[in-house]
Homo-oligomer: A and B are copies of this chain.
Amino acid sequence: MTENSAPLNCLSGVRVLDLTQFEAGPSCTEALAWLGAEVVKVENPGGGEPGRTSFAGPPGSPDSFYFFEFNANKKSVTVNLKSERGLALVKDMAKKADVMIENMAPGTIERLGLGYEAIRALNPGIIYAQVKGFGEGSPYEKNLAFDMIAQAAGGTMSITGEPDGPPIRPGVSLGDTGTGMTMAISILGALYERRATGQGRRLQVAMQDAMLHYIRFAFQTQAVLGRAAPRNSNRSNTAPSGIFRCAPGGANDWIYVFARQKDHWHRLLKLLGREDLIGDPRYETAQARGERIQEVNAMVADWTKRRDKHEAMRLIGAAGVPAGAVLDTMELMNEPSFTERGILQIADHPTGPFKMPCWPVRFDGRTPKLEPAPLLGQHCAEVFGDWLGMSPGDVDALKKDGVI
């Protein structure tokens, strides 16, 4: 029997000292953990990183569902950063790390004496990564940011919504996870280089800046139009292109159909039982259909409204026309194929199983295997032993002294 997931050891031996919290940093280090790096979260002994407790979790759990999702396959140690001995401990770990990463408020890591220059002096080969809301040199470099602030100031909100409505925040947490992905790529590039050269790197990304990377399509729209890219929601100047209502008419009973190419349009006509229109110049080009947009869309809508979205997607897709039912999170969670293929996996937390989205890329047919997010301080003995050669007695003493 073939397993759908397997431990992945691409980054075997890579040590990541992780001082990040919430999502932009943790999503980055989780990607490295999926690939097999040893990611060690450094957390406040008094409650851990705020992502553990800022959201709800299962009954009896000290940790939130949110924390589960963004910290899979990592280890956790506690260190009191208000203690001199705690700070010294982090510096000792930095000497042993390949990568150190933080996403604290601007200026905080430097005030702790753990800034880039300090750490580089201890470990010149380290890859030192920082995620902030706004870039160094930006007028807002000292400002605080969360996902929605980056999405407002980074342009994604300005292009999401109805043309005559207000800007809408996309439901995706792109300001966080989107930014984290660009940093993960950069760390991996630096690691590849370092394996050959031993050279360290200072890496910096701002959430606002990273948003521009994800709205490049809008920048080309602007280049074409000569004005800011508008919000165009689901509308298009061609047809059929957009969402169409399906039976029985619930909030997410819609299907996106896109048949701009001529061959796709012809296939769709066959499915609709309108082969008579194939070759008809009134409908033959995208431009011609754009001039009859309401009529063309009505033809499609009349067909979709009599099917449920799953049947509609099956039939339109099988006809060779791009189509996607609007699926909600529960439908995705309950679709067996995601579990069979290792895209959704179940983590065994002490408070019970939790099914969650995992790394979506398959390596030789299998996704990386999910291990549950760590309990606070779960790996103190293991990590301080492995990295720093401490005995269990040493670790206990640090605990008694309130250092960890």
- Evaluate contact between B258 and A23: CB separation under 8 angstroms: no
Assuming A156-B172, A168-B233, A214-B172, is B219 touching A69 (CB within 8 A)?
A: yes
Tell me if A337 counts as interface (CB < 8 A to partner B). Answer: yes
A181 nearest CB neighbor, chain B only: B181
Task: Identify the stretch in A190-198, A274-282, A294-302, A382-390 within 8 Å (CB) of chain B at 4 or more residues.
Answer: A190-198
Binding site secondary structure of chain A: mixed
Which residue of B135, B204, B232, B362 contacts A203 across the interface (Cβ within 8 Å)?
B362
Interface residues of A in 173-226 (CB under 8 A from B): 173-174, 176-178, 181-186, 188-193, 195-196, 201-206, 208-210, 212-224
- Evaluate contact between A11 and B324: CB separation under 8 angstroms: no
- Evaluate contact between B219 and A333: CB separation under 8 angstroms: yes
Contact code string A47-77 (vs B, CB < 8 Å = 1, else 0) = 0000000011010000011101110000000
- Evaluate contact between B64 and A220: CB separation under 8 angstroms: yes
Task: Identify the stretch in A85-93, A137-145, A372-380 within 8 Å (CB) of chain B at 4 or more residues.
Answer: A137-145
Query: How many residues from A make CB contacts under 8 Å with B?
Result: 145
Q: List, in ascending order, chain B residues with CB within 8 A of A65's CB.
A: 219-220, 223-224
A221 nearest CB neighbor, chain B only: B329
A35 nearest CB neighbor, chain B only: B189
Tell me if A104 counts as interface (CB < 8 A to partner B). Answer: no
- Evaluate contact between A138 and B215: CB separation under 8 angstroms: no
- Evaluate contact between A324 and B361: CB separation under 8 angstroms: no
- Evaluate contact between B159 and A171: CB separation under 8 angstroms: yes
Apart from A35-B186, A148-B324, list 4 A-B contacts with CB within 8 A: A35-B189, A143-B323, A152-B243, A203-B362
